[in-house]
Amino acid sequence: MRQVNHWKRLGLLSLAGAVLTSAVSSTATQDVVAVRQADMKAMAAAAKTISGMFKDQTSYKSAEFRLAADTIRDKSGAVLSGHFASEAASAQSKAKPNILEERERFDRMANDLRDYAIALGAAAEKNPGAMTAGMRMKPGEAMGGGPFGTHVSSERVLSAMPAEHAFHLMLQACTTCHARFRME
Ligand code: HEC
């Protein structure tokens, strides 16, 4: 299952959070790095919650699913971009310097993430009871996007696809951005 593989990869990221402390240029820099890393960890926890409900459908709770989607919505888009507004040259940060050079691409990825989170939140709202078949991917359903094609341009397409599909695309958005903008 692709979802499991995605999750394993992301799960490892949180282990990388234990970074060494060393001198930083200013406390402001230190703060923004700490904030964005904490936001990323919160998004990872939220994605894990959603992933768990797709793995065990009986554990689905609309309100929890919704809360997790809202967490990602609130920490992506302009909020995420804003935390990478200037070069935070800090030993604690794993952000690559090309974020500033490739501003538009970075911001687009942050916005895509937000769009997926909004679609997931809407799906939870539409399905207050059990997780419905309509939320699941059909066997053999083509996965849109590839490593560099995760952008779903139309909101209509996004809201029409099963939530599970949108979730896969969302995880791809995480890994695509990390591949380009985060150090190994
Ligand atoms: C637009 C780009 C982008 C997107 C989208 C993105 N990330 Fe990140 N992520 C980064 C960057 C850059 C860093 C490194 C930040 C730093 O160390 O200053 C990072 C770091 C992380 C970390 C490590 C935090 C730490 O404590 O060091 C985790 C975990 C993480 N991201 C999870 C996620 C998850 C889960 C998603 C999707 C739901 C996601 N990210 C989406 C850019 C992104």
Q: Is residue 131 part of a domain?
A: yes
Q: Is residue 14 part of a domain?
A: no
Q: Is residue 119 part of a domain?
A: yes
Candidates 8, 32, 40: which one to mutate for ligand 1, based on the most atoms within 8 Å of Cβ? 40
Q: Is residue 13 part of a domain?
A: no
The predicted-structure confidence for 131-182, as pLDDT tens digits, reads as follows 999 999 988 777 654 444 456 667 778 888 999 999 999 999 999 999 999 9
Q: What pLDDT, on a 0 to 100 scale, did the predictor assign at position 139?
A: 81
Q: Is residue 16 part of a domain?
A: no
Protein residue whose Cα sits closest to atom 36 of ligand 1: 174
Burial class for 29, CB neighbours closer than 10 Å (0-12, 13-18, 19+)? middle
Tokens of 7: 């999750």
Total domains in the fold of the chain: 1
Phi–psi pair at 81, nearest 5 degrees: -55, -45
Q: Is residue 17 part of a domain?
A: no
What is the SS3 assignment for 95? strand
Name the pTM for this structure.
Answer: 0.84
Q: What is each CA distance from 106 to 94, 110, 111, 133, 174, in whole angstroms?
A: 15, 6, 9, 34, 11
- CA atoms 43, 141, 126, 160: torsion sign: positive
* CATH code where residue 39 lies: 1.20.120.10
Site of tokens 């939220």: 46
Residue 171 Cα, ligand 1 centroid: separation in angstroms?
A: 11
Q: Is residue 12 part of a domain?
A: no
Of residues 91 and 48, which shows the higher confidence score?
Answer: 48
What whole-number distance in Å separates Cα of residue 124 and Cα of residue 120? 6
Q: Within 16-162, where are the H helices? A: 27-55, 62-75, 77-82, 98-101, 103-126, 155-160
User: Residue 80's domain spans which residues?
Assistant: 2-7+24-181
Q: Is residue 19 part of a domain?
A: no
Site of tokens 């990388």: 16
Residue 64 Cα, ligand 1 centroid: separation in angstroms?
A: 22
Asked if residue 22 has pLDDT above 70, the reply is: no
Average pLDDT over residues 5-34: 59
The predicted-structure confidence for 29-72, as pLDDT tens digits, reads as follows 778 999 999 999 999 999 999 999 999 999 999 999 999 999 99
